[in-house]
Structures are given as C-alpha cells and as structure tokens.
Amino acid sequence: MTRPPDSEPFGYDGYTIDADEGVLSCRYRLGAYRFSEEITFGPEGDWSAPAVDAAARLVFLLAGVSYYKTAAPALVELGSTATTPAERDFLRQVYVEGLGEFALANGLDLSDLRIEGPDRVPAGSPRSSEPPARPPSAGRPLVPFGGGIDSVVVVEEVRASHPDTTLLVIGPPGARFAAIEHPAEITGLPVRHVDRSIDPTVRRSAELGFLNGHVPVTGILSAIAVTAAVLHGHDAVVMSNEWSASIGTRTVAGRSVNHQYSKSAAFEEAMAAVLDQSIGPVPAFFSLLRARSELWVAERFAHLTRYHRAFRSCNRAFHLDPALRAERWCGRCDKCCFIDLVLAPFLPRAELSAIFDGAEPLADATLADRFATLLGTAGDKPFECVGDVEECRVALHAAAARPDRADSPLLATLAAAAPLPGPGGLDQAVERLLRPMGPDRIPERYRIPDDVAPAALVV
C-alpha cells in the first residue's frame, strides 16, 4: 500500500513542563486532529537540573510515534523543536524499524519517511550555551519493572551489590496491575510510579478511520525512565532486555521485522548515543540481560521461589479495562506457552502446574500448534515478546529429558519434530545458552560475574 503524495504531514506542536505538578505535556497534530499526552512524574525531584529538559524533549520525540501511526504519512515535521542530525536519524530509525510490524499489518512501506525540522547544536560543543549535566550519585540504579521473570531477575542481580536500588513502574493514570504490584511488593524495594496518559482519540481508531497496530512502546518507556533517573539522581537506568530481543521476529521480502525492536541491542546503542550527546554519560542506559539468553534468565528465576506465585507474564493480566483483566494465567496464549516452556527445564512439573493454577500449557495437548510456532516447525513465529527458535528448542529437549516429564506425549511429539540446533548434544546446547551470548554495554560496577558454572537442569 502506498500513501497519497499529498497526505497531511504529522506534526510536533511542542511540549511543556509544569514543575509544580511534575507533569510533562506533549502535543502533536495530523490535519484537523490535535493530540495531547501527559506524563506525570510528580513534583518531587530536582526539576531545575539542566538534563531534565533534554530528557523530557526525548520523551516528546519518541512518544509521537503513538500518534503518527494514525495515518503514517510520508512526512514528519518537528515544528520549532530543534534536533541534531543524529537525533533525527535515531528518530527515523525508531519510526521505520519500530513500526515494522505495524507497517506489515497495514500493508505499508515506510522506507520513504522524511523527518524535517530545525538544526540544534549538540550539547558540549563550542557553540552550545547549554550548561553541563549535574552528575547523579553513583550506585543508585533505577530499574523499570514489569513483574515478569526478566525484571525480577535483574532486580535481584542488581540489588545484591547495590542495595539502594529503586523500581520504576509506568502505567495509565489510576491503574495498578496486580501482576506488577505484587512482585514489586515482594522485592521490598522503593517504587516510583509514573503515569502516562495517552490521548483518548487514538483509542477511537475504528470509529475515526485511523490505522492501528503495534508501536515500539519500550522505547517511549525508556525515555520516561531516563527522565525519572535525572529527576531523582539515579546513576543508571537498568533495563531487562535479553539477547534474543535483537533477533527479528520474521523476515518479509528480505527485511527483518522485529516485534521487540525497542528492546534490541540496535535500539539500546542508538538511544545511548543520543543520550551521550544530549545529556552526557550519566545516567548510564543499558540492559543487564543484553548478552543473556532466556534460558539463563529462567534458570536464575527458578531459584527465586518467593516470586513463583506472584508473577504473571500473561498479557491478559494487563488489559486496560479492569473488567476484562485476567486475575490468573490464561494458560493458552503465546506468552503463557513460552514462559512455561522456558521454565520447564528448571522447575518440577508439579511446581509449574501450581504456578499456572492447574492450567499448565505443556499439559494441554490442544496447544501443540501454538508451541510449534515457537519451535519454528509450523506457522509463523508470533509477534510477541518470546525467545528465538534455538532457545525454545533447547528448552523443549531439556524439559523432555526430565524424569517428571517422561510420560508427556506432547513433549515427545514436539521434540521429534524439532531437533536440537547446533553441534553437540543437549548438555552442550544448554551450557552454550547459559553462558554470555555476545557483547553488552554494562558498566563495570553493574557487571554480573561470568564465572558461575551452569546449574543442573533439575531444581
């Protein structure tokens, strides 16, 4: 599908900061429509810090993608908001790559997207009048927390050497999700809440004829987290994005489309470069799990037993309408199936049955086709935050090798159709995934020791 050449451009109308109320307001336009979004941090914190405006400006730039998608025109006009060429390149990458799934679903080609606006002098250059950023206190990490196994593991790894760890929970105004709040309470750590209020007009897509689809929301939340870190003097924003988030979900016409683009290494590196230019090296922005597989995360989580009855990664636990919000695992969606699969090598069958309230996906033979999409043996990989085929197949074979799974016809059938990837047998495959999988950007003070031997499969 091509867009008409005379389609209305998407425009950035500006942002304002109300320090007394602690609210960042962002305004956008598309033809006759005006959109407004508010992010409420609260009045606490140092709103006079020079880096606050720079961080808020980045939130404003990235949040625009939620409104651009209503029509996805070929031109984005930044109005009076000045940006550097590097920032415009980054923003275009977020739009084109982050909206890859959206473009595929709507039959669009975003490769001709143009982003235009006035030039800005990078901070720290001789012609810049911007004051230097105030360095935050070292060793005070801020961890965006979603309540899943990844963020739980990150919190426990970080707090071991940094007791002054704070959690950050970002959500709609007035909404508190039990699937996040309960695990957060178990940590015993302080929690900062930030409310993001999206313009309700975009939720009327069907009525108003807007396009709809997935947006790179983690990118927006990352910028919000950086702003919160600057306000409260945190020296790092520690994300929980694994190695496999960098692997594309599907390849379409020779191009990789990644549901998890804004959790990928490419996004992290580009975001960090923009932050270095506009704010400075602190707060550091990185993922503690960048080189870690989903299997490594699952092995660590298996030992954190106090969270086993509290966490829920089922997407139905996060429905915006409380009346439709699930209070237990659905046991049937892609996310439920993946979480069960990746934990199965490390937890007894009875424990996983209890976690899923008796509705464990691996006990349900009718879900064979859904597991097959995760294992790459049938259908397309789902557009979900799940691991790659290698991780899923190794987890499958490791689970099937457990004595308490020996009588599972579903595991036997799936394993027969999905051979182990790579050289060597199961032990080598598991060990490979329990070791670091590649480079990362973790500062030395936050690094996880690599000299921990892989754990036994049976916990």
What burial class does residue 73 get, using C-beta atoms within 10 Å of its C-beta: 0-12 exposed, 13-18 middle, 19+ buried? buried
Kindly report, residue by residue over 431-448, the tens digit of the pLDDT.
Answer: 999 999 999 999 999 998
Q: Taking the alpha carbons of 245, 249, 251, 252 in that order, is the dihedral positive or negative?
A: negative
Q: Show Cβ contacts of residue 101 under 8 Å, excluding neighbours closer than 6 positions.
A: 213, 214, 249, 257, 258, 259, 383
* C-alpha to C-alpha distance for 220 and 87, rounded to whole angstroms: 15
**Residue 136 confidence class, pLDDT cut points 50, 70, 90:** low
Kindly report, residue by residue over 341-380, the tens digit of the pLDDT.
Answer: 999 999 999 999 999 999 999 999 999 999 999 999 999 9
Kindly report, residue by residue over 201-257, the tens digit of the pLDDT.
Answer: 999 999 999 999 999 999 999 999 999 999 999 999 999 999 999 999 999 988 999
Instruction: State the pLDDT at residue 421.
Output: 86
Average pLDDT over residues 104-125: 87
* C-alpha to C-alpha distance for 202 and 192, rounded to whole angstroms: 27
Instruction: State the pLDDT at residue 184.
Output: 97
Q: Is the pLDDT of residue 163 over 90?
A: yes
Kindly report, residue by residue over 180-198, the tens digit of the pLDDT.
Answer: 999 999 999 999 999 999 9
Kindly report, residue by residue over 309-328, the tens digit of the pLDDT.
Answer: 999 988 887 777 777 677 78
Q: Which residue has the tokens 């760890």?
A: 165
Kindly report, residue by residue over 386-397, the tens digit of the pLDDT.
Answer: 999 999 999 999
Domain boundaries, the chain: 10-122+134-287, 294-445
Average pLDDT over residues 54-63: 98
* Domain covering 10-122+134-287 assigned CATH 3.40.50 in the classification: yes
Pair of tokens at residue 267: 């996004």
DSSP string over 250-279: EEETTEEE-TTGGGSHHHHHHHHHHHHHHT
**Residue 123 confidence class, pLDDT cut points 50, 70, 90:** low
Pair of tokens at residue 316: 């139905």
Kindly report, residue by residue over 281-310, the tens digit of the pLDDT.
Answer: 999 999 999 999 999 999 999 999 999 999
Instruction: State the pLDDT at residue 122.
Output: 65
Q: Is the pLDDT of residue 449 over 90?
A: no
* C-alpha to C-alpha distance for 387 and 381, rounded to whole angstroms: 10
Mean pLDDT value across the chain: 92
From residue 275, alpha-carbon distances to 26, 135, 272, 311 in Å are 19, 14, 5, 32
Q: Is the pLDDT of residue 153 over 60?
A: yes
Q: Answer whether 78's CB lies under 8 Å from 115's CB.
A: yes
The percent of residues in the chain predicted with pLDDT above 90, rounded, is 84
Write the DSSP symbol of residue 333. Answer: S
Q: Answer whether 348's CB lies under 8 Å from 404's CB.
A: yes
Pair of tokens at residue 70: 């209503």
Average pLDDT over residues 21-28: 98
